Amino acid sequence: MALWHGYRPELLTDFYQFTMAASYWKEGMRGRAAFSLFIRDLPPHRAYFVSAGLQSLLAFLDDFHFDASSIQYLRSLGRFPEGFLKYLESVRFTGTVRAIPEGRIFFPNEPILEVTAPIVEGQLLETLIINTLHLEILVATKASRCVHAARGRPLIDFSPRRTHGVDAALKTARSSFLTGFIGTSNVLAGQMYGIPVFGTMAHSYITSFLREMDAFRAYAAAFPDNTVLLLDTYDTLSAAEKAVVIARELQAQGKKLRGVRLDSGDLTRLSSQVRELFCRHGFSDLAIMASGNLDEYRVEELLQSGAHIDLFGIGTRLGVSADAPYLDMAYKLVEYDGRPVLKLSPGKKTWVGEKQVFRSYDPSGLMEYDILGLKQEKHPGAEPLLEPVVVQGRRTAAEESLAEIRARFRADWERLPEEYKKLRPEKIYPVRPSDPLLALQDRVRHSRVAEEIGS
């Protein structure tokens, strides 16, 4: 497996995964295990999640193995028997993964993916799986809310400077693009994922010149076909007047000023004043962009207040999902060696067995309810969401393009009822456990209580 920013991904795990794996090995436990990944609860003001990150995970699984440097490090800890380390040298992922495809909408307690594999393989992957999918689902969900709040206006990811590391910056660009952003300021993400890149100028560019107009003219000379001017370095309305001059100078060259950006102040008032100024001078089609601590709530507020903003740069609050910075995501054993298992911890109970999510639609084609059932169940007329993506250690299909994932998200979004798209939803989408699942859950629960506690 290739290095990721200098690290071995197979070692991106909690230490107890190795201690459990070593014990499984010592006990001769080679049975088939099923693990289910799900999110327990909705964060505040959320009604759904967007599946994302699966392609990133599959790339890790393609070549999952422990190389000599990883084995040597584990040996240096002095905690594991040599036989176990020799065993790890031969470990590859040989199991099956069923997952909800990227771009699809799902809900709490529905399995995002299920892994079936020899128990050591499935156990060692827990931390890597959660770490890989958590961020992309978190950001994709928030980005979809920003897109909805913008009412059709384009959005650009401006987050890389304040995301939590290189990987977070890249995955924010990807996850926001798959849910409808038009591009990113992150050049590396543009190269890696084929996402359109955008950028204007910083305040430091303007302050490096003696006069603001000198900076505007220099930038227009360098990029006459793609000039967007930042207006708020000194005085926004004065800068807007200068932008009119630049627009006329470009017009005389057969070129066109693309637009301006507002990054601070009363964006509703300033955007209205700048729009009025541009209209008065015959440049009503100049685009006004806004940035600066924006998210879905601020975008909604601006548009409701009548702001004249044509597109938005969404940065920090997107990249760190500021209002909901984590998901209660869990990866739990649900079956071992043909025996369904569960956890009865208060507030953290799990559903037994390998499962499937069956989605039903109303006569108009909108999502109506989901059924959480056992894998082998049949629900005629309902759509099963989990699909096999890895079988016996091999992918079932080539890597999907972002265009395909964007189209899938758009199709699901159009089928999600409006009441669940609200930034402050009042209803929870219905997810119903099936009768066979409830019956199995009850049998296993009674059996475990009787055996572990006594009748």
pLDDT digits (tens, 9 = 90+) for 312-332: 999 999 999 999 999 999 999
Q: Flag whether pLDDT at 8 surpasses 90.
A: no
Q: Which pLDDT value is given to residue 345?
A: 79
Average pLDDT over residues 423-441: 97
Average pLDDT of the chain, as a whole number: 95
Q: Which pLDDT value is given to residue 218?
A: 98
CATH superfamily ID and name for 153-319: Aldolase class I (3.20.20.70)
Q: What is the CATH number of domain 2-140+324-448?
A: 3.20.140.10
Q: Which pLDDT value is given to residue 6?
A: 57
Q: Which pLDDT value is given to residue 120?
A: 97
Question: Which has the higher per-residue pLDDT, 348 or 327?
Answer: 327
- Show the tokens assigned to 6: 């200098």
Contact 163/319 with Cβ under 8 angstroms?
Answer: yes
Q: Which pLDDT value is given to residue 7?
A: 67
Report CA torsion sign: 113, 328, 125, 186.
Answer: positive
Q: Which pLDDT value is given to residue 149?
A: 98
User: What percentage of residues in the chain have a pLDDT greater than 70?
Assistant: 98
pLDDT level of residue 3 (50, 70, 90 thresholds) = very low
C-alpha distance from residue 97 to each of 282, 339, 387 (Å):
59, 19, 8
> Which residue from 431, 428, 434 is spatially nearest to 352, judged by alpha carbons?
434
Question: Which has the higher per-residue pLDDT, 453 or 182?
Answer: 182
Q: Flag whether pLDDT at 451 surpasses 80.
A: no
Q: Flag whether pLDDT at 2 surpasses 50.
A: no
C-beta neighbour count of 3 within 10 angstroms: 10
pLDDT level of residue 450 (50, 70, 90 thresholds) = confident
Q: Is residue 403 packed enough to be buried (19+ CB in 10 Å), middle (13-18) or exposed (0-12)?
A: exposed
Q: Flag whether pLDDT at 4 surpasses 70.
A: no
Q: Flag whether pLDDT at 34 surpasses 70.
A: yes
User: What percentage of residues in the chain have a pLDDT greater than 90?
Assistant: 93
Domain boundaries of the chain, sorted by first residue: 2-140+324-448, 153-319
The reported pTM is 0.95
Average pLDDT over residues 89-106: 97
Tens-place pLDDT, residues 214-256: 999 999 999 999 999 999 999 999 999 999 999 999 999 999 9
